[in-house]
Amino acid sequence: MKANSNLEKVLASGQFAVTAELGPPKGTNRSLVEKRAAELKDAADAINITDNQTAITRMSSLATSIIVRQLGLDPVMQITCRDRNRLAIQADVLGAAAFGIKNILALSGDHQSFGNHPTAKNVYDLDSLHLVQMLVKMRDEKQFQSGDTFRGNVPIFVGAAANPYGDPFEFRVIRLA
């Protein structure tokens, strides 16, 4: 096992894993996060913390994951490629590791035109496949995308989501490989 998270343990044992989604609030209300997390505590093996879901500005996935971790639950910090470049993502991953966040779900992210800032510029410095590669390199080789090394460990369980119906059709099999 790479991260020794509860989610990783459940999956490694061959059991059916249940995750629940917790959308961070549109504001700074920590007590709302605590209330929602308490409601999910006995219902899931891990709690997915969304990253500006539906392209609407919310408390960060990192901050919400830290709160959920402090409550003794196993957060899955979602990271989307839409809003941050590789520098910002790698900084968030180091911060997550420093706070004991052990699960990261790599996603492309909903297009910003669906959210509350439809004219915002998307970033997409990396796509979700390259994000997974970067996370694994950080975990296994202690290297940034640039090749520079860093001190400390990044014990993360890396996940991704796939849309089997996503365009372009020709790349679906390649992306799943």
Q: What residue ranges do the domains of the chain occupy?
A: 6-176
- pLDDT exceeds 80 at position 32: yes
Predicted local confidence at residue 163, as pLDDT:
73
Q: What is the pLDDT of residues 141-170, one digit of tens each?
A: 999 999 999 999 999 999 998 777 766 666
Q: How far apart are CA 124 and CA 109, in angstroms?
A: 9
User: For the whole model, what pTM was predicted?
Assistant: 0.92
Predicted local confidence at residue 18, as pLDDT:
98
Q: What is the pLDDT of residues 82-112, one digit of tens each?
A: 999 999 999 999 999 999 999 999 999 888 8
Tokens 């961070």 correspond to what residue? 24
Q: How far apart are CA 81 and CA 103, in angstroms?
A: 17
Residue 113's pLDDT band (boundaries 50, 70, 90)? confident
CATH architecture designation of domain 6-176? Alpha-Beta Barrel (3.20)
